[in-house]
Amino acid sequence: MTKFIRCLGALALLQALACFSPAVLAHHSFAMYDMEHQQKFSGKVTSFTWTNPHVYIEMDSVDAKGKPKHWTIECANISILGRIGWTFNMVKPGDTITVIVAPLHTGQPGALLKQIQLPDGRKMGNGAPAGPPDPKLAGDEPAAETKK
């Protein structure tokens, strides 16, 4: 009887893992972002949200036609960003920043951060899972990927 109960418990655990594994993997997918057509632009921060599961930067910029555009930019989680030198107060509403992003495939103004240049000139990456910025857009200095 005890062996039967253990077997049932193991099967229930396997079933739970099988049900939830796709959701976890889907959450961490970058498939919605166009990694091959990264963009670089500057703008003014309207909001910086330092929270899990992701940090977000909201910013206003102007597109190539001079039309205002409000962006929502997804960053890594606070644990990853903290390990590479980010802090909760390093980006503030009103700051003018330059970003390199992988935009949404849909064309809507949402993106995955690849690199940020802060008002003081520092360049910061978004952690290893997001990958590096396009070298043609990043310039000579690489983004900080590890805390020194």
pLDDT at 108: 96
pLDDT at 70: 98
106-140: per-residue pLDDT in tens? 999 999 999 999 999 999 999 988 889 999 998 85
DSSP-derived secondary structure for the chain: -HHHHHHHHHHHHHHHHHHHHHHHHHHT--TTB-TTS-EEEEEEEEEEE--SS--EEEEEEE-TTS-EEEEEEE---HHHHHHTT--TTSS-TT-EEEEEEEEBTT-SSEEEEEEEE-TTS-EEE--GGG-PPPHHHH-SSPPB-S--
| Single pTM value for the model | 0.76
Low-confidence ranges of the chain (pLDDT < 50): 7, 10-11, 13-14, 17-26, 142-148
76-113: b or e for each residue (b if 16 or more CB lie within 10 Å)? bebebbbebebeeebbeeebebbbbbbbbeeeebbbbb
pLDDT at 2: 66
Tell me the C-alpha distance between 97 and 113, whole Å.
12
